[in-house]
Structure 1
Amino acid sequence: MARGSRRVRGKRRSRKRQEVWGWGAAGAVVVAVVVVRFVGDHPGWAMGMACLLVVMVAGGLVLRHRVIQAARQRFLAANAELEKVDQMSGTEFEHLVAERMIADGFRQVRERGGSGDGGVDITAVAAGHGRYAVHCKRYSKPVGAPDVRNFLGALANAFAGHTGILVTSSRLTKQARLEALGAREPLILVERDRLADWLLGSASLLPARSARMLTEEEAT
């Protein structure tokens, strides 16, 4: 009985599929007939619609090409910036970050330097966002958890009340990222990819500017 019922259900499903295909084919024939009659009765309109379709397709292809080219240019520019960074010393990298912070809208940007800075290389202020402490790592290897813990210690003591920003030319290890994001006051992380966007001016570390730039990018 079970096998018989399954066969019946299978036949019903097959019949329904055939009916759907049949109705679809009939609909396609009707549409084709209507289009042919319309073209025959209104050749001018048909020609105009055909031209409009061609223009729309061509415009879409041109737009797609421009988007691809723009993305390619951004990719090449980002790589060029990162190649420059990779040739810098730690001090030069700190200076670059400080300059970019000024361009980004930070004020009272001060390079601290030295080995007794508790991991803080730059301090700055942003109107409406308080004080910031920045730790720069011009590394070729990933930044590890000990570096993050050292920086968090400075933020909890000598630089209490500052928002921490960790900027690196490399990336963080998984454990380092977990510690950075799991802190009482999560760090702002600027790893390699985000660093490239920031250096090119297409990203910001200030929340208000970052949101505005994202909105403008979506609009374009």
Structure 2
Amino acid sequence: MTNTSSDSGTDAKPREWRFVWRHRHALVLILVVALMVGTWLALSPARPLPWVAAALVAATLVWWVRRRTHLAREERALALVDLSEVDRMPGTEFEEHVARLMRVHGYTAVTVVGGAEDGGVDVLGRAPDGQAVAVQCKRWNHPVPPNEVRALIGVLNTGYRGYRGMFVASNGFTEAAAREGGGHMTLVDRDGLARWMGGTEVPEPPRV
């Protein structure tokens, strides 16, 4: 059967540029605040601290409102998706879907890195307890075999040391793959994905 996960390299942008593009709004906000602080310091050199404090408070408030609005929008989008729609997603859309699930359920610094140069990992983030997490996503029409799980174990032991692993598979894992991943990573099979999407069970990375 066809592998629909993202390994075809359709996104030709370098990883650094993708990072800048995904965080463009935050970067613009930082630039605006920096200009405001610089202007205020120039106009009020005798009493700069109140201006700096006001700018930081304003920037924090804008960031918080924007974040809450974004999360609310993602929650509404998730509510419209069920497993039948997941089965029709291309690999890149499934990666974005998993990233959205992570953000809505308490993960932070979530970034989709899938592509030709993803190093064997599709999504990076931090669990609610602060643990760094590297996620592999497979939107396949059949269960994931053990060689794919072994590949992620190898990636975690080389290029992503210090990260805990999570493997999300829309059609689950073979018994051999489940045994292979036990103790090394969190495996999210089809039933686990359904519970995650329903908000009844949020997967966590294994403890260090």
TM-score (norm 2): 0.57
In the other structure, the counterpart of 1:56 is: none
Cα offset for 1:127?
A: 4.2
Task: Tell me how far apart the structure 1 counterparts of residues 181 and 107 of structure 2 sit (CA, whole Å).
Answer: 22
- Paired AA for residue 135 in structure 1: Q
CA contact (8 A) 1:118 1:150 kept: no
- Paired AA for residue 151 in structure 1: L
What are the residue-to-residue correspondences of 1:64-83 with 2, within 5 Å? 81-83=82-84
In the TM superposition, what whole-angstrom CA distance separates every residue of 1:141-188 from its partner, at most 9, and x where no partner exists?
Answer: 110111111111110010011110000101111111111015xxx210
- Paired AA for residue 138 in structure 1: R
CA contact (8 A) 1:104 1:205 kept: no
In the TM superposition, what whole-angstrom CA distance separates every residue of 1:68-121 from its partner, at most 9, and x where no partner exists?
Answer: xxxxxxxxxx9x711010010000000000001001100000000112323200
In the other structure, the counterpart of 2:146 is: 145
Structure with the greater alpha carbon radius of gyration: 1
- Listed as ranges, the gaps of 5+ residues in structure 1 are 1-77, 208-220
Partner of 1:196, secondary structure, is: helix
CA contact (8 A) 2:105 2:202 kept: yes
What are the residue-to-residue correspondences of 1:121-200 with 2, within 5 Å? 121-182=122-183, 186-200=184-198
CA contact (8 A) 1:163 1:187 kept: yes
Task: Tell me how far apart the structure 1 counterparts of residues 145 and 174 of structure 2 sit (CA, whole Å).
Answer: 6
- Listed as ranges, the gaps of 5+ residues in structure 2 are 1-78
CA 1:118–1:146 in structure 2 vs 1: closer, same or farther (change >3 Å)?
Answer: farther
The number of aligned residues is: 126
Partner of 1:124, secondary structure, is: strand
Task: Tell me how far apart the structure 2 counterparts of residues 127 and 84 of structure 1 sit (CA, whole Å).
Answer: 27
Cα offset for 1:128?
A: 2.5
Moved over 6 A (4+): none
Partner of 2:82, secondary structure, is: helix
- Paired AA for residue 146 in structure 1: N
Task: Tell me how far apart the structure 2 counterparts of residues 138 and 168 of structure 1 sit (CA, whole Å).
Answer: 6
In the other structure, the counterpart of 1:118 is: 119
Query: Aligned Cα RMSD in Å?
Result: 1.7
**Percent same amino acid among aligned pairs?**
40
Determine which structure has greater relative contact order: mean sequence separation of CA pairs < 8 Å that are 6+ residues apart, divided by chain length: 2
Richer in helix (by share): 1
TM-score (norm 1): 0.54
In the other structure, the counterpart of 2:85 is: 84
